Structure formats: C-alpha cells, structure tokens
Structure 1
Amino acid sequence: MLEATPLSEGWVLRHGEAALPAVVPGCVHTDLMAAGVIPDPFLGRNETEVAWVGRREWTYETDLRAGSGHEQSDLVFEGLDTIAEVLVDGRLLGRTRNMHRSYRFDVTGLQGRLSVRFVSAYAEAEAVRGRVGERPAAYAEPYQYLRKMACSFGWDWGPTLVTAGLWRPVRLEQWSTARIARVRPLVTVEGGEGVVELHVEVERTRVEAPLTVEATVGGVRARAEIDGTAGVVRLRVPDVRLWWPRGYGEQPLYDVELTLRHGGDALDVWRRRVGFRTVGLDTSADAHGTGFTLVVNGERLFARGVNWIPDDVFPSRITRARYRERLRQAAGAGVDLVRVWGGGIYEGEDFYDACDELGLLVWQDFPFACAAYPEEQSLRGEVEAEARENVVRLMPHPSLVVWNGNNENLWGFRDWGWEEQLGGDSWGEGYYLGVLPRVVAELDPTRVYTTGSPWSGSWAHHPNDPAHGTHHSWEVWNRTDYGDYRLQVPRFVAEFGWQAPPAYATLRRALPGEELAADSPGMLHHQKADDGNGKLERGLARHFALPEGDFDRWHYLTQVNQARAVAAGIEHWRSHWPVCAGTVVWQLNDCWPVTSWAAIDGDGREKPLYHELRRLYADRLLTVQVREQGLVLAVVNQAGEAWTGAVRLRRMSVEGAVAGEAAVRFEVGPRGVAEVRVPRELVPQGPKEFLVADADADGLRALHFPVPDREVPYPRPEFDVVVAPGAVTVTAHTLVRDLLLQADRLQPEARADRGLVTLLPGERVTIGVRGWETPDPAAARSALYCLEPTP
C-alpha cells in the first residue's frame, strides 16, 4: 500500500548567514515575523517597511530520508510559491513556475539535504516582460507575467506583500507496482439514478502487473480492469437523494472509495465525497436581451451571492476552522452563491468541503484578473496544466457549478485602452475563448463554463452591457449616487458594492496609538482604492451632513451608507426577478484590516452591511419601489411555498403621527414577485413624512423616505436602555432611525446579533450580545449610534 509521510518538520529558512525556523506550509513573511526579523505588516504602515522581502531570493531546507522497502519514492509539493528550484544535495530535481499547480519529483534512492530555492517573483516577472513585451493592466505591479496569486502584488483593497514559500503541504509518497495518478469523477443524474463514472489513471513501476480497481458509493460496488495505465468504473445509485443549494433542499453527500489492486493486494486508495445534482445556465434571448440564469436540478434560481477574495494575503494561514467560520457567516447572511474571484487562488479542499455541506454554490474564476495576459510559451503551457489539474481536483464537489474564464479582462480590452496599446499582441483571449472552455468541456462537461465576468455572450454586444449576460456595476460607486442602481435592470449583477471602514476594534488593533481620523496617516495607508476617501465623502454628502472632525460619527455614517447603498441595489434588482437573476455583492471578506467594500472585515468582525444582507437575502422581502405608475410595494418570495397575507401601510410624520393607514392583501407564488400599488393617499409628501409597510405576521418591514436624510427633520432621538446578561434592550420614545450597537466598542471580542434597526415611537428592540463580560448600561448607551437632526 502506498505510504504518505508529511514533511512538515525540521525546515529552516535561510536568511543571509542565519538559518531561521520555518513552518511548512507557510511563507517567508510569516517565518520572518515569527523570528522577529520583520514587524507585522498589517499594523500601522509596516507594509512599506517589509517591501524588500518580495525582492529577495530565499531558500528552504530540510533533510530528506526516503527510506526503503518500496520500489519508488516521490517527493510531492501541493503548492510552491512560485519560481523555484528543487535540489537534493545540490542535484537539481526540477524547476517550478506556477503557484496554482502541484509538483511531483522522483527521489527513489536519494538521501541528503533537500533545498527549495525561490527566485524573486519580481525578477521573474521582469524577465518574462522582457521576452514577451509590455502588457497593460489595471495596476502597475507586474502580476500578469507569472502564474501567481495576483493580489499578493496589491489591489484596491489589499497590501503589496509579494510572498514566497511552500504554501501548501509537502509529503513523501512511497509505493510499489502502481499508484493512482488521477481520478476524474463524472457525477450525473439520469432518470432518478445517480451515476458516477470514475476515469482512473495509474502510474506503474511494473508494466506487466495486472491491475484492477474496485469502487463503492451509496452501497453500490463495481469493478474494472486497468488497461495499461487507464480504466473506467461506472456505478449507478438507485433512488438517489439530490443535493440542493441552501434554501432549496438538503445537501446529502455520498462517500466514494476507489481501491487499486494487484491480485489480492491493495496498492492505493482514493476517497472523496460527491453530491448528485444537475446544473445548467439559461442564456437564451428574450424581450429584455440575453439572460443569465442558473438552473439547479431543473429549478431556476435568483442567485444571492457574494464575491470571495483570499481570506488572508498569506493564504497558508487560512485553516479549515477559519474557512468554515467565514462560510458559515456567509450562509448565516442568506447567501447561496460564493464567487471565488480571479485575482486570488483556487482555494483549498476545506473551502469546497464547507460549501458542499452548507449548500453554498461556488462560482470559480480561473485566476486571471484586470490585466492583459501574454499567451506565449511557457505561460500558455502553464495555464493549460494548472487548468487541467484544478478542474479535475475540484470535480467531486457538488457545490462547484460555474467555471469562469476571467475577471474584467474582456471589458478591459474593449474599454480601458488595451486594444490600442497591444497593437495585435496576445492578451488572453485565446485562454478565455479557446484553452479554458476546451479543458472544461473535455474533462468536466457536467459543469457550466462562462467566458468572463462581465461578458455579454459575444463580441456582438459590449462586454459589460447590462441587457446581456453578466454585468459589473461600478460607475455608481465611482462617479454617481447609489440611487442610480435603480436606473437599470441588468440580467445578472456579478459585481457591485460600496465602501466602509472596518469595525472600530479592528482599527484600534491595526493602528495602535494613532489618533483616528478619516485622513490620519494609518487610515489613509489602509485605504487602497483610488480616491477612496473622496468617494466616501461624496457618497456621504449626497445623504448626510458631513461630520467635521468627529471620527466616531464619520465611522458610523459611512457604515450606514454602505448598508443603504447595497440595499438600494439588491431590493431593486430582486424586485425585477426573473429579468434580473442574481446579485453578487463585492465583497464578503477582507484579507487584512482595511477600508473596503467587505461585509466582514479583516479581523472577521461583521459590519452593519453583513446584518443588512440577512434581511436583503432572506427568502421573503418587502421593499418599496418607485415605478412609472407610482409607488409600489414589491413582495419578493424566494421560498418554495406560496406566500399570502396582509401588509399594514402607514403614512407617518417624523414626529410619530399617523397621517393615513390601510391594510392591503397580497398573494405571491413560489419563487415569485408580486407588486401592490400604494394608495395615493398614503404616498408620503415632503421631507417630514415617510411610509411604513409591515407584514406583521412575518415580522417584516419596509420603509420609504422620499428625500435624502440630510433633508429629513429628524427629532432628537430619545430612548431608554436596559442591560441584562447577553442582551441590550432599547425602547424608543421618538423615531430612532438606523440604531446601531457597536458591540466591539464595549469589548473587542463582543459581537451583536443584529445591525441597523429603525424604531417608531413606543417600539422596542432587544439586541443579543455575546462576549461582553461586564454588562453596564452607561457603556451600552455610549456604544449606541443612530441618526440625529441635521445641524
């Protein structure tokens, strides 16, 4: 039987004449931090002090003892970042050029000092640029010239920390006769039966040895002979239980085990879990343009999505527990689709395992983002090799439903001046329209491939045409107001978002000793977007009076504005289902403490946006929308059952008086939307009035203020606060708009169970708080924020 021995102990990192202890998996930065050689680059402006690390060459070393008793010994690297030579006692085993691939070297009979020498990624990128010529990109760093996580070179939310190291596990595999080299599982559903077709490839030491494979799944067994180095085992599982996205059904998973045998001897075993479901994408033309609707098990979905970036700029630090915590947070917010963005990585198995279990659909970008990528060799060969490996590696996961060719590169070619700059040079089109769809069609025809995001389906339309395919809505954040989200109904919104700073406790940890201000040195360093603070200020000014010199107020209002902006888009687009078939918020998470578009900050704390997503992505949603015929209440029902009931409509003054009231009935079918016209006499008039819509039986509420907040004469908020273990109860005596308990101000570890809430006079809310060891009413009141009268 094949024996696998982890090689995680005894590594050292060569730093000049010194040999520092090294952690494998890990990277140079984390090892240097552990040794006290460099400071934590996430704190203050330390990022700039450690920039030299990415421009150095580094060597990792340990002793290799392959042992005996087997015919072959292989040294297996699951991930090397990125340009490296692998040697044993100075003998070259091979060179690597791709962070996104694994590598295997024959070390049979070898003993001695194992060395992995990393060349600076900058040096390699510059060398490639010298050979193939200049290629334009959205950022100045040379990430497009090598197969490495692009965002390690910095992004508009990320630091420039160019890593090197053994970022995934290393092991020694020893075996005899044969081993399983690759299993490609095609998992489908036919007539109520689950079908598993296992395409097996083996590597041999003895060509003449007869080999068989035996497989089991769901109590079904099958056997096949290996003809040379390949074979196929087919299994049919009767009465299979379907795997569904969360909110649509359960997520049953089936264990698959495949054993390679020589006679009665088991030589190797492959184990995975699979789920049975069908996946499709409806891109048919209609009266509105060209659709983009995911279909799972025949069910058409409105995708409630978030974009995912690497959860740490040092991805070797992301543990199984951390993946699960972050993805549980996503599921807890009502998310059912996670898009793994193309400037990052193919995530580790733990990520996809968690998505399988939680019912989170995965849209996986191939790692190309915001740049023209050369197609010359050896880059072209590396792209195909990594695609082949990762498509097969991730095939068992039922959560993975979409392969996407790139992020914004087709748009960049058309709109960002690339076509003229390139002058006919290669830029990646051959990957997105040639190599990648061919690889997916050949290896995994059970899944959807889409050329890029955004992409309209063909060059006949602009790549970011909202009427065709996927759309990225960034003009609103960059240039206008979030109310402009309501001007379009894209077919599928794959990116949109609004910035806000991280939680207060996150800032205090990341900027120790700094007097916080919107433009203090540390705050500006942890704001990577082009004119990011300017856009925040202009976005605030359209809705609120700017709080001069009051950081706490600025911090609160920017977080309110982020939640309001995202709500404006999602409410509008959900109300237009099925024309619009999905929204994917930019972004779920952060890779360090930073002002960004994230709902969960770099320390894992939920911003108000996170809690707002729980409302926006719930199966049932009430929203007041402006239509040509006037004001309507859109009743959105994504549940599998019909929804009938009554909504209480009240036209109210900000002082709390009810100027008009009515009850309206509604009925909306499963996965549907209904509109109820608001009676003319209940439409609020002027800045002092607003509309309240309550579905009391369901505990849902929608509000409509006809003017921006800066024009609303809010009363000075008055409320009582009562504190009990694990709870803060607020009772309003006036209108209290967008009340927020910033629990991390009570204690850094404290978390509240809800975000922004608006209370009418006499209403009460209890906010659950965990992690607050010494409840105190005065402290609770000081951590409560809400809108106040405009000065």
Structure 2
Amino acid sequence: MALRPLHDDWTLEAVSGPVPAEVVGRRIPATVPGVAHTDLLAAGMVTDPFDGDAEAAQQWIGDTVWRWRTTFEWHDDGSDRHDLIAEGLDTVARVELNGVVVAETENQHRSYRVDVRHALTDGDNHLVVTFAAPVPEVESRVERHGALPHVNHHPFTMLRKSASNFGWDWGVDVATSGIWRPIGLDSWSGVRIASVRPLVDVTDEGGVLDAHVELEWATPVAPAASTAAAETEVTVLVDGHRASSAVAPGTTQVRLTVVVPDAELWWPRGHGAQPLYPVTVTVGGGSETEPWEARVGFRTVALDTAPDEHGAPFVLSVNGQPVQVRGANWIPDHAFLTEMTPERYRLRVADATDANMNLLRVWGGGVYESHDLYDACDEAGVLVWQDFLFACGAYAEEPWLADEVEAEAREAVTRLSRHSSLVIWNGNNEAIWGYVDWDWRRQLAGRTWGEGYYFDLLPRVVAELDGTRPYSPGSPWSFGEYLHPNDAANGTMHIWDVWNRLDYTAYRDHEPRFVSEFGFQGPPAWSTLTSVVHDEPLDPYGHEMLVHQKAEDGNLKLERGLDGHLPAPSTIEDWHWATQLNQAAAIRFGVEHFRSLAPRNTGVVVWQLNDDWPVVSWAAVDFAGHRKPLWHVLRAVYEARLATIQPRASGLALVLLNDTDEAWSGTATVAAVAFDGGRRDEVAMPVTVEARGSTTVSLPAALVDGLDPAAELLVADLPGFGAGRARWDAAEVVDQQLDPGAVEAVVALAETAPGVALVTVTARSYARDVTLLVDRVAPGAVVDTGMVTLLAGESATFRVTGVAESDAERLTADDVVRHAGDLQG
C-alpha cells in the first residue's frame, strides 16, 4: 500500500474568459495546493491582489476557466486499487487522466476518492483538472434555478463554495479556482480504513472512547460468503488500553469501545488542564493498511436551553460545569486559504488565548478549517463552535444542491469528530433571521430557502454521526417556534443596530442571554493600512481607502460613531487613532455591560478576531498580525476576574465577576479622583464574590452625585482582584478637561534582554488609554500591552521588540505614544 502525493510539476493556463493578452496562451508554473491568483502572482503576471485597487483590476481571474496539468510516472505495483484522492477542489471541476474523465465535482467543502486503474498507463500519465469560472458559474445557476435572496453582490448561495470568497463586508472579492488541498494517488489492496469517528464520553468507569470505524474493501465481498480463516482484525489502542474485533471480508462498519479507567478530564481553559490521549486504529495488525491516528480529550458537553423565568438560556457545560463564554468569531485568516500554515493558525489561537478568550466560533461563511486550527484549540483549551457553511442567504433544498449539502455535512462531522475542543454544531449564520426580518418571504414566494437543512437534515446528520455534541439550528436562534429568532430573552442574539444605526451606548438597551455576534469597526495598524493604501494625500474617503473599507457607508459610520465621544480629528493620523480608540471603547462598553448581567448572560462572542486581508474592519487582530487597541481592551474585559462600575436602577454599582474556582474576599476602596491626582470622599467597602459567581454592590449616592464630570472620575481599587481597579468616567473624552500633554515617555534598552526596548510612560495628570503605536517605528515591532489608563503620578512600562537600537528613541515620539486626551490638542 502506498499513498503518493501528486504535487510536483504542475502548470496553469487560462482556457477561456476575459483574459489579458499577456496571459493568453501562456502556461506558467503552478503550486499545488494552490489557486490561480497566487500562481499568477508568483509568475509576475499580476500585482499583489490586496494592494491599491488591484481587486477591481483582477476581477477577470474569477471570470476565467482555468486548467491545471501535470505528468507523473506510474508503474503497476500489483495493488488491487489505485485511487485518485483530491482532498479539496475549488470548485466546479472536471478531472481527466490520460484523456479519460474520472471525476466531475462541484463542492469546495468535500473531498473526492475515485478508482482510476482503468485510466492509468504504464509510464507517463497526464493529469488535467479544469475549473469552471466561479463567478459566471453562480450567475448561470441563477438563470437555471431562479434567484434567491442573499447579501453582497455575487449569488454565492448557488454553489457549495466559501461564501466570503466572493467578497464580504470585510472581505476582498477574489473568487478563486484551484486544487486547494492535497491531491495524490493511493495504491492499495485488501481493506483500508475509510474513516473513524472517535466519540468520547465519561462514566464512572473512566474515559470511554466509542470508535466508529468505516472500512472499504478493494474487491467487494459478501460477508455471508466469507470464512473464519479469511477474517481480519480491527484494533483500537488508547493510552495502552486496547479493544479488538475480528471482522469478515466485506464488513464495512465496526464499532469498538475502549475504557481508559485513569483518564484525566479535558477542560476548557480556566477550568482545568487539557490532557490529550493518542488513538491508533489498525486493520490486520497494522501491516495490511495505513493506521489511523489522532488525539482525543475525554469530556462531556451539554447545552441547556430549558425555559426559565427570563425566557430561555443558552448555557454550554463541559463535564457538568457551566462555562461563561468569552470568545470571538473566526473568519478565514487569509483570502487565499492555501497560504495558511500551521504556524499562522497557532499565532491566531495565541491571539485568542492571550486575550483571555475561551471560545472561537468558526463562522458559516468560510470553510470547515484545517485540522491545524482545531489541534491548536484542543491543546489550548479553546472551545470551538462550528457553523455549518450557510450564511446570510437563502439556499435551495432541491437535489441539485441538497445532495451536495448532505455529503459535505457527513464528511465534516466525521472528519472533525476527533477534536475535543469542538463543542457545538450550528446550522447557519443569520439565515433564519433573514427569512423572518429581511423581506425574504415575499421574494421567495414559497420557494425553499434552507429551512429543511437547519431543522431536519443537519440535526439528523449530527444525531446519527455525533450524538456527543449539541446542535443549534442557527445563530441567532431563540429555541422556540413562535419566538423571534433574535429575541434577547431567549437563546443567542446578534446585535447590529449598534454600529449600523445607533450610538454604542445603546448596548445597554440590550440584555441578551448569550450574544454570539456584535462588533464595531476600526482601521488596522498604520503600517498595515499604508502598505496597501497609497492615496495622495491619505484621506478616509480616498479611492484606495474605500477599496479597503467594505462595509456599507463604513467610514461614515466610523465618523458618526465618534460623535459625542471624541473630538473630531483634524489629521489623517488623528482619524486613524480616534477610530481605533473608539472601536475599543465601544466594545469595552458592550462587553462590560453584557458580562455584568451574569448569570442571566452566559456568553459574549465578539465579531471578529481576525482579518483575511488588509482592511478596515471589526477585527481585533489585523491581517499582518498587529494587535489593535481593541485587542488590548478585550484582554482586559475578558479577564476571568473583572470589576466594572455599571448603572443600576438605584444608582451606580460595583459589579464583580469571578470566573474562577476560588472565592474572593477583600476591600474595595472607592474614591472621587481629580484629574490632577487629588482624592476625596474615600470609602472602604468589604466585598466577597463566590467561585464562578458575581456580586453587585451599590455605591454611595453622595459619592456619585458629587462628581465633577469634567475634572473627576470614580475609581474603585481592589488589590488582588483581576486588574485591581474599576473606573467610572462621568463624561466622555470630548467633555473632559484632559491635558493633551498628560504623559512623559522615556526609553531604555533592556540590559538582560537584547533587542528589547522598555518605554516607561508617566502621567502628569489623568491619561486615558495610553497606547504605543510601535508599528509606526518598524512594521514588525510588537508591544506587550496597550490601552493603559494612568492616574496622575502613575507610571507604566511597555516592553517593545522588533525595533532597531538606533530607532529606540523614536518610540517616545508623539505619533507613537498616544492617549485619548491628545486628541484635544
């Protein structure tokens, strides 16, 4: 048995379409896995697709039929079967081997295996894969099947291809074609392991692995005709514990159970450790077929949506312990998926964990991700909420699409079942909400739109193949047939009236049980933005700037969002800082409010963690990997122990949230603090908060009522609890008497850490949200913290790497050391 990758010596050529003259008739080297855009870029035939207005200039690529070719040598090794395996073809493809059509495909989200013995020849073999042009393909399907409602400009719902690949309100329109996952030839005889679903449970006996093994036989055999002498053995090995079964030829389904008595439980981060146990499945003692190998963590998962006095909760529990979710939505991390690496996945997961997140939601407009993402989450204890791939549109339920949907769903559930981090399957993103609220019913006029997928097919597939994980029909969803799907009192909620229409203070008008999407925009790091936007002069409404702002009226909404919060910026540098700062302030406001509603609120999942190209967006981490001011705020408000001051019916209150296993008792010292450092009316208040609990303490009315909003703030110091402080600004920055020159910065080189600069910032007076924009000194520079607020006389030291020693002094410049008050200068 031999699995042979076929990744070498490929060429790419344009077959038909609006192809530029310099590309017509050319064959260029192609990288497999890869896509046409990246091959054209490598050949110097196009510019960087992300730069300037290249997106518009390169639309012809998505309108073109592309063909990949390679030649490989093959000699018969005596195997019974020779299968061509394509793990991912993007998307409508015809596969020919030596002139014989061996496969026709139309689903990016599936893999394909076909027996090609009949088409192979001894010696040189010619493999050709031709892809239909994706944009004309979806448009032609509209003509054949009729238009269906969807967001954005291309009818992406017509094809089982990543929706955001056609462009989104944060995504570049680069409709790709290509062999996007590995392709190879598998020569084998006898029996092979087709798939394994290693489902886990925990009982009084210990960890339980329920291995569902699917077998395929090279030569079909009727089990009834077999003999005992011809039996083979299937074995599952877990941490030294074993289960085996003799199977007759032709047997295709085997179920084996292994108990690991001393198995340690796998926990989400913040609740315990993440032990992972290797699993090996073999057939015939391991010599007859390639073993199947993976790792599993033993844990149980449950979802509680039973009605209560407030409506219906959304409580995820692991090992019987409810989890307060602090998470982010995940989109594809690169518009060209073949550019993703295991290292890049791990960097993004580290961005999540370093920000105190415990869940990533893999959003339904992208892809079922590489094992690399889920492996990183398994190891880090980051829960994964996995959408099925339906987003913001109506999907036909007729066989021409439904057959593909079922096949991809079955493969996805089977492939991802090994991952302990995956804790919930979700039917769709905003499709049910769209049907109810976005005028779809009138447009559809009785046509199918996906309801049968979300309420029948997908839950059946999950129940059949993976009964260990809960299923939700959609996000948002209220878990009631007669309830609005985006009802705050029930299930999950998306909040987009803020950002689209309302000031971010309107977050307080919502009391969601679980908010699975909400967000506010801001630009990427200065170096990321200016690497692709070259308008002269640089302006928020410049042509290339707007190419990199995909949201409808996005920059107008950014401008409107500043009103009443920050002074109107007068320079592009101030616009950049102000809009980044306001993004962070909006999300801090929202998250602190939502978390303060615990235990009624059980989760906050911000939109979004990451970007797929350099763009103005809702992301906390930009495409170049720079952590925006928003990221630093998320790290603070996602602390397991959070202190926040919130308005309540009786006045202001100090709310303590303790998402740890240890109760906490201490003293909160609350005082009115003048911007120049003076303190008055100091009150010491004993406070206690239980493990995994919350406490609300009313603040003295006299202390609150006496505040001078323009020159004082309320401060609650809690040594040893989380960040140790909560603040209440009684006025917005624009109405406060902040000193534009409130800080002084000095830099020193770390004596014990070569290449590290330490920037110490001292506040002469109240300095809000001190941040170092270190990428303005060097695009690769990294700073360890940001959005630090200092009272008069306080100091903070920022650790900076990636800046040359000769440039260290530049780290103290006014355009690098920023704070909210400097916008008043």
Matched ranges for 1:380-459 at <5 A = 380-459=402-481
Q: Which amino acid is 2:714 matched to?
A: L
Matched, 1:117 2:130: yes
Counterpart AA for 2:488: P
1:48 aligns with 2:56: yes
Percent of aligned pairs with the same residue? 47
Question: Residue 818 of structure 2 aligns to which amino acid in structure 1?
Answer: Y
Contact 1:502 1:593 (8 Å CA) reproduced: yes
Structure 1 consecutive aligned stretches of length 4 or more whose deviation exceeds 4 Å: none
Is 2:689 aligned against 1:689?
A: no
Q: Give per-residue Cα distances to partners, 1:513-546, cap 9 Å, x unaligned.
A: 7432211221111000001011100100121121
Does residue 784 in structure 1 map to residue 817 in structure 2? yes
In the alignment, the residues of structure 2 paired with residue 566 and residue 663 of structure 1 have an alpha-carbon distance, to the nearest angstrom, of 30
Residues 1:332 and 2:332 aligned together: no
Q: Following the alignment from structure 2 to structure 1, what is the Cα–Cα distance between the partners of residues 465 and 505? A: 44
Q: Deviations over 1:204-223 (max 9, x none)?
A: 12425422101110210111
| Aligned mate of 1:706, from 724, 727, 730 | 730
Q: Is the CA contact 2:386–2:425 (under 8 Å) kept in the aligned structure 1?
A: yes
Give the aligned partner of residue 186 of structure 2. Answer: 173
Deviations 1:537-580 (A, max 9, x none): 010012112113x0111111111111111111111111111100
The alpha-carbon deviation at position 14 of structure 1 amounts to: 1.5
Measured in 2, the distance between the counterparts of 1:231 and 1:410 equals 38
Match status 1:20 vs 2:43: no
Q: CA deviation at 1:441?
A: 0.4
Alignment of 1:671-686 (within 5 A): 671-683=692-704, 684-686=707-709
Rounded Cα–Cα distance in structure 2 between residues aligned with 1:538 and 1:11: 51
CA distance in 2, matches of 1:296, 1:410: 28
Taking the aligned partners of 2:146 and 2:168, their CA distance within structure 1 comes to: 23
Matched, 1:255 2:254: no
User: 2:528, 2:624 within 8 Å by CA — same for their partners in 1?
Assistant: yes
Q: Among residues 89, 97, 117, which one is paired with 2:98 in the alignment?
A: 89
Query: Of 755, 766, 775, which aligns to 1:735?
Result: 766
1:7 partnered with 2:14: no
Q: 1:633 aligns with which of 654, 668, 671?
A: 654
Q: 1:608 to 1:460 in 2, by over 3 A?
A: same
On the 8 A contact 2:675/2:792 being kept in 1, the answer is: no
Tell me the amino acid that sits aligned with residue 146 of structure 2: G
- Structure 1 residues 203 and 779: alpha-carbon distance in aligned structure 2, compared to 1, 3 A threshold: closer
Q: 1:59 to 1:692 in 2, by over 3 A?
A: same
Please tell me the residue identity of whatever aligns with 1:780: T
Deviates more, 1:6-15 or 1:446-455: 6-15
Q: Which moves more between the two structures, 711-720 or 391-400?
A: 711-720
| Alignment of 1:151 onto 2:174 | no
| Offset at residue 512 of structure 1 (A) | 4.3
Corresponding residue number in structure 2 for 1:240: 263
Q: Which amino acid aligns with 1:307?
A: N
Distance in 2, matches of 1:225 and 1:435, equals: 34
**TM-score, length basis structure 2:** 0.94
User: What is the identity, as a one-letter code, of the residue corresponding to 1:784?
Assistant: V
Tell me, yes or no, if the aligned pair for 2:535 and 2:542 is still in contact at 8 Å.
no
What's the counterpart of residue 39 of structure 1? 47
Contact kept? 1:79, 1:103, Cα under 8 Å: yes
Q: 2:308 matched to 1:299?
A: no
User: How far did 1:778 drift?
Assistant: 4.6
For 1:155 and 1:778, locate their aligned partners in 2 and report how far apart those are by CA, in whole Å.
38
Structure 2 CA distance for aligned equivalents of residues 323 and 418 of structure 1: 37
Match of 1:182 among 192, 195, 198: 195
CA distance in 2, matches of 1:47, 1:542: 36
Paired position in structure 2 for 1:546 = 568
2:668 matches 1:647: yes
Aligned counterparts, 1:721-760, within 5 A: 721-725=745-749, 726-760=757-791
Task: Tell me the distance in 2 between the aligned counterparts of 1:349 and 1:531.
Answer: 37
Helix, strand or coil: the match of 1:419? helix
Moved more, 363-372 or 187-196: 187-196
For residue 630 of structure 2, what is the aligned residue in structure 1? 609
Aligned residue type for 2:513 = R
The aligned residue for residue 665 of structure 1 is 686
1:685 Cα deviation from its structure 2 partner: 4.0
User: Residues 578 and 823 of structure 2 are in contact (CA less than 8 Å); yes or no, is this contact kept in structure 1?
Assistant: no
Match of 2:52, SS state, is: coil
- Whether the 8 Å contact between 1:66 and 1:107 is mirrored in structure 2 is no
What one-letter code is carried by the residue in structure 1 that aligns with 2:151?
A
Q: Which amino acid aligns with 2:308?
A: D
Is the contact between residue 717 and residue 736 of structure 1 (CA under 8 Å) also seen in structure 2? no
1:193-204 alignment runs, 5 A limit: 193-204=206-217
Match of 2:796 among 765, 768, 780: 765
One-letter code aligned to 1:97: E
Report how far residue 707 of structure 1 moved.
Answer: 2.0
Q: Which moved more, 1:3-12 or 1:432-441?
A: 3-12
SS across alignment from 2:506: helix
State the TM-score, normalized to the length of structure 1.
Answer: 0.98
- 2:744 corresponds to 1:717: no
- 2:393 corresponds to which letter in structure 1? A
- Answer yes or no: is 1:587 the counterpart of 2:608: yes
Q: CA RMSD in A?
A: 1.4
Structure 1 gaps, min length 5: none
- In structure 2, which of residues 288, 292, 295 is the aligned counterpart of residue 270 of structure 1? 292
Q: Secondary structure at the match of 2:584?
A: helix
Query: Within 5 A, what are the aligned runs for 1:515-530?
Result: 515-530=537-552
Distance 2:59 2:449 in 1: 29
Q: Distance in 1 between matches of 2:218 and 2:387?
A: 37
- 2: CA distance between counterparts of 1:265 and 1:169? 25
Residue deviations 1:107-128 (CA, integer Å, cap 9, x gap): 2260321000000112321232
1:446 is displaced (CA, Å) by: 0.2
For residue 612 of structure 1, report the CA deviation from its aligned partner.
0.9
Give the AA of the match of 1:148: K
Letter of the 2:161 counterpart:
K
SS of 1:758's equivalent?
Answer: strand
Match of 1:105 in 2: 114
Q: CA deviation at 1:719?
A: 2.8
Say which is worse superposed, 642-651 or 339-348, in terms of deviation.
642-651
Measure how far apart 1:789 and its partner are: 6.8
Q: Is the 8 A contact 1:66 1:172 kept in 2?
A: no
The question of whether the paired residues in 2 share the 8 Å contact of 1:750 and 1:771 is answered with yes
Moved more, 56-65 or 26-35: 56-65
Give the whole-Å Cα distance in 1 for the aligned partners of 2:394 and 2:700: 54
Q: Point out where structure 2 has 5 or more consecutive residues left out of the alignment.
A: 15-23, 750-756
Deviates more, 1:380-389 or 1:756-765: 756-765
Whether 2:536 is the aligned partner of 1:503: answer no
Amino acid across the alignment from 2:67: T
Q: What letter matches 1:139 in structure 2?
A: N
Please identify, of 555-564 and 591-600, the stretch whose mean Cα deviation from structure 2 is larger. 555-564
- Tell me whether 1:222 sits opposite 2:243 in the alignment: yes
Alignment deviations for residues 182-220 of structure 1 (CA, whole Å, 9 cap, x no partner): 212221111151111212221112425422101110210
Report the alpha carbon displacement of residue 686 of structure 1 after superposing the two structures with TM: 3.5
Offset of residue 94 of structure 1: 1.3
Q: Partners in 2 of 1:235 and 1:765 — Cα distance?
A: 54
In the alignment, the residues of structure 2 paired with residue 674 and residue 184 of structure 1 have an alpha-carbon distance, to the nearest angstrom, of: 43
Higher mean C-alpha displacement, 678-687 vs 760-769? 678-687
177-186 or 85-94, larger mean C-alpha shift: 177-186
SS state at 2:141 partner: helix
Distance 1:557 1:405 in 2: 38
Contact in 1 for aligned 2:677/2:793 (Cα 8 Å): no
Q: Distance in 2 between matches of 1:245 and 1:524?
A: 40
Distance 1:604 1:58 in 2: 32
Deviation at residue 779 of structure 1 after TM alignment: 4.2
